[in-house]
Structure formats: C-alpha cells, structure tokens
Structure 1
C-alpha cells in the first residue's frame, strides 16, 4: 500500500481524522510573542519529534520513513541543544524535557496505530505545520531578542522538514 493511501486509511481506521489531520488542528492563529508561551511549546514540539522518531526507527517499515526519522532525531536534538544554550545566554531557565498534553496524545495515537508509517507521517506533517507557524510568529515578534533570533535561524530547517514530510505523504493530507 503506498503511503498516500495508507495515510487516508490509517486516519479513517483509527478514527482520528478529526484530531490528527492538519486542517483539524490548524496552526495557532494568535501570534506567539512571549517566551513564556514559546519556550514550553517549542520544547514539547522538539521532544515529540525526537520521541516519535525513535519509535519510528523501531516500527517503521518504509526505508524513506526511517531515513526521515533519523533526520528528525538528529536535527531536533540539535535544536534542543541550541535552544537551551540560547535560554542560558538570555538568563531564562531551561525547562525540563516534557511533552504537553497535546503532544502526549499525538505520541499515544502514533504508538497505537495499526499502520504505523502512515500515522507517523501524518503526525509529523501536523507537528511541522504547527512548528513552522510557532517559529515564524515568535521570530518576527518575540519578546526576547536572542530567542527570536534562534527561532529565525531554526525556521529554515523546520520548513525543510515540512517540505520533506509533505513529499512523504504524497499530498494525502491536503486531500483529506
């Protein structure tokens, strides 16, 4: 089964079309301008990318999905380290690694999926759409200049990830 058909089938079979499709959980409409909102959201997002991708290395069948997962682990570990360094420089406490409720639910959904590859790709698509929106917003109007600069520097990598996962999904999410 190709990944496009598998994505649609997985979303319908899991009954998560309403909570996992990119359009059902659109990127935040309100601008994120404070570090108190940006930091925990970005940290949770990075941790979700790492943890779901570690799971993908164990469970994914498609070699392209596994390659993408390796890239996610590498890039999001780097982003986590860079954000921590930026926070220390700005005098902001580095939060302990933790998934917020939304990312916990997304991880549980991916973990329990019968078609793991499709569920993982779909979750990555949604997570990267949201991350691009978050980092775009904060980079343009964030309240801590060093953190806004970090967001701006990280944004091209997140956009590259989004483009890559869109190619993996074969545009299936747009058709849902």
Structure 2
C-alpha cells in the first residue's frame, strides 16, 4: 500500500478523511466539527509525538534532533494534560490513551529505520502537518466551545513545531 493510500485509509478509519493527509494532491480537508472525532485524533497525534520522540532520545545521532525530541515530549505531554482538563471541566468522557493503527505503524517503522534521524524528522513533518489541519479545523468549527478554544490556543505551538521540523528536515532529513 503506498503512503497516500495509507494516509487516507488511516484518516478514514478515524472519520477525518482529507483532514489528516498532508499531501498536496490530497482532497480538500473535511471540517472536523465533533469532539467524538477530534478527541481520539488529538490523543493519537499526541501519543505519536511522545512515543516517537522517546525513541529519538534513544536512537537519534544529531544533537539538534535530540533537542527537538525533548521539546516534543514536553509540549505534547502538556497539551495532553491541558486537553484532559478541558474534557473533565466540560463533562466529556476521558478517551483511551491509544494510537490509531497508522500512527502505531509509524512508530514501529522508526524502531527499525536505518537512517533514524531522517526518518524521525520526516515523520515529525508529516505528523505536524496533520495536527495543524486537525486543530485548525476543530478550533474553527468545534461543537464544544471550551475544547475548540483549547484547539485554537494549541494551534500556534503546533505551527511552530511544524516550522521547526521542516527546518531540521530541510537540513538533510528526508520527508517520508
């Protein structure tokens, strides 16, 4: 299965087809308007960032990549805690801490990557493109106002992560 099909299939399984695909030829993003779609996608995205970055602390050779990984762990753990607090205050159910199968596969492929730094940074670019689209859509159209506010407040950090990842990836890391 090629990467574009895998991205679309993974996003469709989560119910956010188009929104989760970073490719230029992908369909226009679908608006993510419900907490029932946004929350599991955001949880999976944060777990992907945290788990892949923990792996980077073990396997990355570049000090710049290691610094980036530490920042991802800090920022995405904070985002997870903030989102859980919003869910509690809003009376929404706590999601299971699970990654969608495509995110699990991305972490698994990083575990065996021969050029880890490049593979990790490529995954970071792709994951942050997805997150920016997801948080932007829900922040604009979300059905739970406090959760939509959380998405809007988190978006600038995700955009900064994306720019940072693209800068590091442009310095020699290949994008998946």
Report the Cα offset of residue 23 of structure 1.
2.2
RCO comparison, higher one (Cα < 8 Å, 6+) = 1
Q: After the TM superposition, which segments of 4 or more aligned residues of structure 1 sit over 4 Å from their partners?
A: 15-22, 24-28, 171-176
Report the Cα offset of residue 102 of structure 1.
1.2
- 1:102-161 CA distance string (max 9 Å, x none): 101111111111110000000000000000000000000000000000000000000000
Report the Cα offset of residue 76 of structure 1.
0.2
Change in Cα spacing, 1:162 to 1:98, as seen in structure 2 (3 Å) is same
TM-score where L is the length of structure 1: 0.84
Change in Cα spacing, 1:23 to 1:113, as seen in structure 2 (3 Å) is same
Structure 1 residue runs of 5 or longer lacking an equivalent are 1-14
State whether residues 122 and 173 of structure 2, in contact with CA within 8 Å, keep that contact through their aligned partners in structure 1: yes
TM-score where L is the length of structure 2: 0.84
Residue 68 of structure 2 corresponds to 68
Question: 1:37 and 2:5 equivalent?
Answer: no
CA distance in 2, matches of 1:101, 1:43: 13
- The correspondence of residues 12-51 of structure 1 with structure 2, limited to 5 A, is 22-23=22-23, 26=26, 29-51=29-51
- The correspondence of residues 1-176 of structure 1 with structure 2, limited to 5 A, is 22-23=22-23, 26=26, 29-170=29-170
State how many pairs are aligned. 162
